[in-house]
Structure 1
């Protein structure tokens, strides 16, 4: 982002924080300190400080709070980028060693009995965490920070200790990094629930989860293949909402971003991609086609061949679902070489299947 764009989003965040905590003098002092001292390279420091940013950001991600996500967009970008940098350094250091193939970290948390019931039913399946996660390498530290063992009156709550098993040699995962005794995951990281059992001694549930390679967990839907490749910028919170299935708020977010006069062409293109994806998920194919063609025109103007090929696949998909097979054939074959080169085997096979179906229909 340019300096002017970053300054605008930064001021939006400070204004939002000041209004949100207007009557909390202690937090207002922290906000003033944050405003004066914050730098992009200190995003993890401020997040792991356990202050207003930690609570506000995780609540916004969990609850799909559109206004908060928009206001915090610059901090989300900074935090993601710093975690990504630390993740790359962590993996590079780890890959040079013959040992330490796996890392176990822990997170203690109070969850509702309804959430526990869902987790128990999903043993052996996959699920995604929709917030940045702070974890500890010490299970007892995680247990203490969860508040477990303290008196509480909410009988609907149970204590659970998540044990995350990470194969550090896996590629294509969401970024994580060791920050002193803390590790961070990007929101949306995918885990397999290996087992959940009741720990009678500590009076808590214990869940064992394994971090998964994105390629092993195929998130179906017209946008999911490329979600991890979307530029991390002002548009990104909209894709967070989309991935959580909050399509109405995602649409509202993308539309609001499109009204920004300083928006760059690439950001506009990603907004149209998001709007197209939302419309496709809602089976509004005419609207999806309209937005994807808007995106296509921008990539064509920018002479961006990679993104142009990706949106060609999306347009071909939409035309196929609309039953416009002749028009779909104008787009789908052009993506063959790209998807084969990128090793997107499932997408490549799916495109072949659609073209085969069209050929069969035409012969009848």
Structure 2
């Protein structure tokens, strides 16, 4: 909590300095200081007051020092957007319509507009505000209004597949002071691909159709369901830099953490900076630098006698991940096992890090064809099919339910791996001739697979076959 209070105080101080003499904004800053809670982040951002202007300026100019100052609010905003995304997806699921069409209007210099070509990428420095209402977007584009000759009115039509794990987008209408704008807000790191360009001479608009791109989302899809569960164990000081790395902004993340090294930090926090530098370099596939910084973190943590803490275990897992990329399986297993031993002593048995560690170790053994060893880890870390192949039916239901619990704590609710567990449960109950429960799990399996897999995918076919068998038994 002290780190949170410190980061909030840093931000308030910076805002007061910037708006010194501006009584209106100083009053807003004081109101924020006295009343703000984490749940208010979206509401404050959409007010377009001092928070909106200063954070957007810092993001637009890539001012790492300013971003560090505003880390307190940025983390809250990202957290709330992720939660709101879940509500948006749930609504889409109820309506069976996962395509979101939204709009953004902008006045851009002609030289910038000329750079927008078919199949080109557009990366956003910051949060991106859009609207469900095309007429609102046209107003922001300046349609039918007099603009400077060197500017051009651009209307972006944005298509978002809400089933994609590669973007966080949220409907913030209910938080806005102007709800009629129907605002939809993208989190940091959104990247789009241009799929169509047209010029509307009647309305004097350049119409650009774009879709969310997966090009920079290699690690973001892992991050989205994970980072917000991790916050309880990670100081707010470090979360923003981690966010940059996980949305593909590796250079910015490295700059951020290297800037932190110039701030007076105790060895505990310096070790965490080294860890995050190693993490960002690993994402960049610079394994030599990644290993160096992970090992620097390990050295400091040993010196501080932190060998039984979460952060030390996380560092060991980081070293193991580098050895995995270097195909050094002996050291990979060594460090993964060291990390797992610590996790098991300090975390609950169903904690996400234990599940991830078990899965990593099991995967290494499986690749080495050491199936008995792999079995011991996979049965705790979700890969229940190995247990079934070994013929262990007696404990199967316990394993399946344990796997489902762990997977649901790690993954989005419509992830195919959750469907795999539903399928195993359905098959188990079918073999036990408990067809009503088998039907429940079989229906859940198909619901996910039909949305996530291609029509010819073998898993979808197997799930449909099982559903048909269960239904046939119920109709007898």
Describe the superposition over 1:193-239 as per-residue Cα deviations: whole angstroms up to 9, x where unpaired.
22222222222222212234xxx54656xx77865545563223334
Structure 1 runs not aligned, ≥5 long: 353-364
Is the counterpart of residue 138 in structure 1 residue 145 in structure 2?
no
Distance in structure 2 (CA, Å) of the matches to 1:59 and 1:45: 19
Partner of 1:107: 104
Partner of 1:73: 71
Distance in structure 2 (CA, Å) of the matches to 1:100 and 1:148: 30
Partner of 1:274: 276
Is the counterpart of residue 289 in structure 1 residue 297 in structure 2?
no
Distance in structure 2 (CA, Å) of the matches to 1:224 and 1:52: 29
Distance in structure 2 (CA, Å) of the matches to 1:66 and 1:20: 17
User: How far apart are residue 117 of structure 1 and its match?
Assistant: 3.1
RMSD of aligned C-alpha atoms?
3.7
Distance in structure 1 (CA, Å) of the matches to 2:197 and 2:271: 43
Please say if residues 196 and 210 of structure 2, whose CA atoms lie closer than 8 Å, have aligned partners that are also in contact.
yes
Describe the superposition over 1:96-142 as per-residue Cα deviations: whole angstroms up to 9, x where unpaired.
x243321111111223334323321xx23544322111111111102
User: How far apart are residue 86 of structure 1 and its match?
Assistant: 1.1
User: How far apart are residue 165 of structure 1 and its match?
Assistant: 1.1
SS of alignment partner, residue 125 of structure 2 = coil
SS of alignment partner, residue 251 of structure 2 = coil
Distance in structure 2 (CA, Å) of the matches to 1:143 and 1:10: 37
Deviates more, 1:223-232 or 1:128-137: 223-232
Q: Structure 1's 92 and 37: CA in aligned 2 closer, same or farther, altered over 3 A?
A: same
SS of alignment partner, residue 7 of structure 2 = helix
Q: Structure 1's 289 and 253: CA in aligned 2 closer, same or farther, altered over 3 A?
A: same
Q: Which structure has the bigger radius of gyration?
A: 2
Greater per-residue helix proportion? 2
Query: Greater relative contact order (Cα 8 A, min sep 6): structure 1 or 2?
Result: 1
Partner of 2:154: 160
Distance in structure 2 (CA, Å) of the matches to 1:270 and 1:127: 33
Distance in structure 2 (CA, Å) of the matches to 1:177 and 1:154: 35
User: How far apart are residue 12 of structure 1 and its match?
Assistant: 0.6
**Correspondence for 2:309 among 294, 302, 323:** 302
Please say if residues 323 and 329 of structure 2, whose CA atoms lie closer than 8 Å, have aligned partners that are also in contact.
no
TM-score normalized with structure 2 length: 0.58
Distance in structure 2 (CA, Å) of the matches to 1:79 and 1:62: 17
Please say if residues 105 and 140 of structure 2, whose CA atoms lie closer than 8 Å, have aligned partners that are also in contact.
yes
Deviates more, 1:29-38 or 1:303-312: 303-312
Partner of 1:40: 38
**Correspondence for 1:250 among 251, 256, 264:** 256
User: How far apart are residue 256 of structure 1 and its match?
Assistant: 4.8
Distance in structure 2 (CA, Å) of the matches to 1:158 and 1:195: 17
Distance in structure 2 (CA, Å) of the matches to 1:69 and 1:30: 20
User: How far apart are residue 19 of structure 1 and its match?
Assistant: 0.9
Equivalent pairs counted in the alignment come to 322
Partner of 1:178: 171
Partner of 2:439: none
Is the counterpart of residue 23 in structure 1 residue 17 in structure 2?
no
Please say if residues 294 and 315 of structure 2, whose CA atoms lie closer than 8 Å, have aligned partners that are also in contact.
no
Please say if residues 251 and 278 of structure 1, whose CA atoms lie closer than 8 Å, have aligned partners that are also in contact.
no
Please say if residues 294 and 318 of structure 2, whose CA atoms lie closer than 8 Å, have aligned partners that are also in contact.
no
Deviates more, 1:60-69 or 1:238-247: 238-247
